[in-house]
Each structure stands twice: as structure tokens, then as C-alpha cells.
Chains A and B, each alone.
Chain A
Amino acid sequence: MSRGSFWSVAFAVGWRNAHNFFTKPAMVVPALMFPLFFFTAFAGGLSRVESIPGFEYGPGYTTFVYGFVLLQASAFGGIFTGFSVARDFESGFSRRLMLAAPRRGGIVAGYWIAALLRAVFTVSAITVVALVAGLTIDGGAIDLVGLYTLALLVNAAAMLFGSGVAMRLRTMQAGPAMQVPAFLALFLAPVWVPYDLLTGWVQAAASVNPVTLVLEAGRGFLSGSPAEVVPAFGVSLLLAAVTVLWALGGLRSAERFA
């Protein structure tokens, strides 16, 4: 089998999923609305939080929240692609796809392309809204490359995790099994205040949560004072590598089913 057949499958699956996403308001609207709600509610409703003694983040609370919402939108862009995988199994499309695809690894790559396009779209929309709302970026071009690369790595890891679950369970009812771990991983990090201002069990959870490193690195890029860069990229790459194996295991499971 040629490398060309892998990419032809990947592009076909990616195009189909991206087309489904962009032509169905029922898919586009929630994907955009949820991160925007979070951004609006936190940046607008909680802006006074930056007056708490000990809150030290130069660019301001809007930028602090943007760092989280960017990560959240990227992660959920990946998780929602996992929903599409589950839907394709429920409708029987995936079974036909398995029979037709010469290189089945291309199917996973295709869903990754779709997740990437979704994330780019959502993140762009949120960034525009955030800029209008007063987002201040003190980081330079290299910082921004670092920030968005991290976001895309998170998107890929989330998509691979969601796809792995979807290909094993092959039903839309697997939705909570994809969403809840992602939700917990994101919210058990310093979402609203810096790590030092967290209290109780959330601080204990955040101290061992790898998302904390990614979030702090992202906020560091935005403020122009990169922090935890190597650990954050290390964790993201490790997550991506583990979830690749997880997704390929799911694909093997789906092949046995097909």
C-alpha cells in the first residue's frame, strides 16, 4: 500500500467531517457558543478577581481567561470530533468506510484533520471576540507560535482520546465518557485564579494535573514571560503519543467489529 492511499483516505475523511461540521448550524453553534459563554462569563463577570491580593498577571484578567478558553476550545474541538466518530459508527458509515479504506490508519488521520480545522475555526472566532473585548498580548511572534502550537497539540490529544473511546464503544452514548475526563482535566487546573490563590482539594488536584503546566505555559506566552515551556511541551507531546496508541487500539477494536 502506498503512502498516497493513506493520505487519500485521510483527506477524504477529513473533508467529509469538516463539510458536515461547517454546513450544520447544530454543530457549529454549540462549538462556538460554549467557549464564548465561558469567555464572556469569566472575563466579564469575574474581572474584579484581578483585585484579589496576590493576583499578579500583567496583561490583565481578560488575557488570563483567554489563556484558559483557548485551551478549552482546542480540547473540546477534539472531543466533539470524537462524537462525530461515534455518530459515524451508529449510522453504519464507519463500517462501510472500514471496508473501502485501503489504509485504515488514514481514517484516524482524517478525523484529526477535521478536528484541526474545527479548532482553527473556533480559536480564530474566540480570538477575534477576545481582541474586541480587550485582550492584551504582551508576547512576541515566537511566543504566539508556542501558544498556538500547544493548543493544537492539546486538540490532537483530545481528538485521539475521543476517537479511541468512540471506536471502542461505537455509540453516541459514549459522549460522557469522552467529555467528563476532558472536563475534569481542564477544570482541575488554575482556571479562574493563579495556582497560588487556589485553595482546598482543587489546589491539590491542580498540583498533579498536567494541564496546569500547559495552562501556565500558555499564559506565560501571552504575557511575554514564558514559563514551564519545556515541561508543558513535554507533557503535551507525551499525551499526544499516548493517545495515538489509544486511538490505534480503538481502531483495532473497530476493525474486529467491522
Chain B
Amino acid sequence: MTEAVRSAVRSGLFRQVGMLARRSVVRTLRQPLMVVPSLVFPLMLLSINSSGLDSATRLAGFPTDSYFEFALAIAFVQGALFSANSAGTNVASDIESGFLNRLSLTPLRRVALMMGQLAGILALGLIQAVTFLAVGVAFGAGIEAGVAGAFVIVAMSLTISLAFGCIGAFVALRSGSGEAVQGAFPLFFAALFLSSMALPRDLIEIDWFQTVATYNPVSYMLEGIRALVITGWDGEAIALGFACAGGITLIALAAASWALRTRMVRT
């Protein structure tokens, strides 16, 4: 055990994280209105899109003959957008109810608070990823990268959930308002819509849209998952997917931690 870990154990950091994580997970799972739509809506859209746009697979250069396999990745990212909303709403509710104020009077470490909140996002993200994967396989999507690839899909999906969840937490901590979190929700959707969600980037005809999709990190998250489903072990696509999701997680986590520090000082 390193000195840093020993020190953390002594200071009760793990205990603090554990307690807050348990609260966050239980709280998330106890709210069916938070869990159910985050599973039902992406699956509903997947079902409608895959049937409505199946003829797009007839386009020259389309990477698969099943639009369902192509669209499966959208469910993972869309589910993650719901995580952002869920995480943000929970944090905002803690601020609005005064829970954060009371916590600030305790010797609780900020890092424990942040990590505890993120546990709820990860729990929801795991339920989503496993559900989407199971539904995908049940309805005929072959995971080209095999069983190991399925685990990588879950890992990437969790990283994406964490990325959007941290953004949601940041918005909530900066604004202190659940309404502001809800107001930011369309922006998350814009990021999804302006990506290679519906067609591969090289098949997007409109130049400006293709440029936006190329600079949009959501495209690479989608393409990372899509590669594991359709192509197999495409190292570049998988690395880019993890890099974009991980990069956003780090930036949003830093921003959320800074916002939390400011918020704790204010209280």
C-alpha cells in the first residue's frame, strides 16, 4: 500500500466516497422517472430509426447491410446524455434543498463529494450499456469484436456517460438550478444531432455539416462503438473514441471541481 493510499484510508476518504456513492446510486435507482426514460427513449428511437432508415444501407459505401447495427451506437450516446441530465438534476436538487450547505459544515472532502456523485452516473451508465448491448444482440446485431469487444463497448459507454455526467454536474454546480440543467439538455442533443449519428461522415453530402461532424467529438464516440460492432478491432476508431470521451471527462471533471470549490466557498 503506497503512502498516499494509506493517508487516504486514515483520513476516511474512502469511507466518505463510499457513503456518498451509495447515496448517489440508491438515489438514482430509486427514481424510475430517471432510469426508465433513459432506457426506453434510446431503444424506441433505435427501433424507429433502424426500420425507417434501413434503405440507407443501399447507399454505395455504407459500411453494413443492417441499419440496426449502425444505429446501435446512438443508443449508448443518447443514454449518456440522459446521464448528464440525471447527474445535473441530482446535484442541483442537493443545492436547492440545502443538502450541499449542510455538507459544507462537515469535514467532508470535496473530492469525496465529487466522486460520490459520479458513482450514481456510473451505476446508471452500466445499466444502460448492458441493456443496450443485450437488446442489440437479441435483435440480431453481431458484435464483430466478439465478447472482449462487448466489454470494451461497456467500458467506452461508461466513459461517455462519465463525460456527459460531469458536464451536467458542472452546469448544476455553476448555476445551482435544476431548470438551468434542463435548459442545457437541448445543447447536448445538438451535439448528438450534429455528428455522424445518421450516416458515416464520408457519406454526408453537405460540406458544412461534414466539417461540423468532423470537429464534433461525439462523432468519434459513436464511431468507436460502431467500429466494435461493425468492423471489429479498429484501433484508431477505438482509441479516438476513448480519447474524446476521456478528454471531455477530464476537462468537465476539472471544471466541475472548480465550480464545487466556488460553490462551497459561497456557502
Contacts and interface: CB of A to CB of B under 8 A. Distances in A.
Interface of A: 26, 29-30, 33-34, 37-38, 40-49, 51-55, 173, 176, 187-188, 190-193, 197-203
B56 interface: yes
A207 to B, nearest CB: 13
Contacts of B58: 52-53
Given A41-B198, A44-B208, A45-B213, A193 B52 contact: yes
20 contacts: A29-B186, A33-B190, A34-B189, A40-B194, A44-B194, A45-B199, A45-B213, A47-B206, A49-B53, A49-B56, A52-B56, A176-B37, A193-B53, A193-B56, A198-B55, A199-B54, A201-B51, A202-B48, A202-B52, A203-B51
A33 B191 CA distance: 12
A187 to B, nearest CB: 5
Interface string B155-196: 000000000000000000000000100010010011001101
B38 to A, nearest CB: 13
Contacts of A53: 58
Nearest to B68: A200
Contacts, number: 95
Interface of B: 33, 37, 47-48, 50-56, 58-59, 179, 183, 186, 189-190, 193-194, 196-199, 203-206, 208-209, 213
A197 B55 CA distance: 6
Given A41-B194, A45-B193, A187 B48 contact: yes
B193 A41 contact: yes
B257 to A, nearest CB: 27
The secondary-structure label for the interface of chain A is: helix
A26 B53 contact: no
B51 A45 contact: no
The secondary-structure label for the interface of chain B is: helix
Nearest to A46: B198
A200 B54 contact: yes
Contacts of B199: 45-46, 48-49
Contacts of B54: 199-200
A184 to B, nearest CB: 8
A45 B204 contact: yes
Given A26-B179, A26-B183, A41-B197, A47 B205 contact: yes
A198 B52 CA distance: 5
Contacts of A44: 194, 204, 206, 208-209
Contacts of A203: 51
B59 A48 contact: yes
* 3 pairs of A and B residues whose beta carbons are closest in the complex: A44-B209, A41-B193, A202-B51
Contacts of A188: 48
Contacts of A30: 183, 186
B51 A200 contact: yes
A173 B183 CA distance: 17
Nearest to A53: B58
Given A54-B55, A198-B52, A48 B204 contact: yes
B59 A45 contact: no
Which of B53, B54, B213: most chain A Cβ within 10 A?
B53
Contacts of B190: 33, 37
B59 A52 contact: yes
Contact of A199 (B51, B183, B213): B51
Nearest to B196: A45
A187 B45 CA distance: 9
A60 to B, nearest CB: 11
Contacts of A45: 193-194, 196-199, 204, 206, 209, 213
Contacts of B193: 37-38, 40-41, 45
Contacts of B37: 176
Contacts of A173: 33
Given A48-B56, A199-B54, 12 more contacts: A30-B183, A37-B190, A45-B194, A45-B197, A45-B199, A48-B204, A49-B55, A176-B37, A187-B52, A190-B52, A192-B52, A202-B51
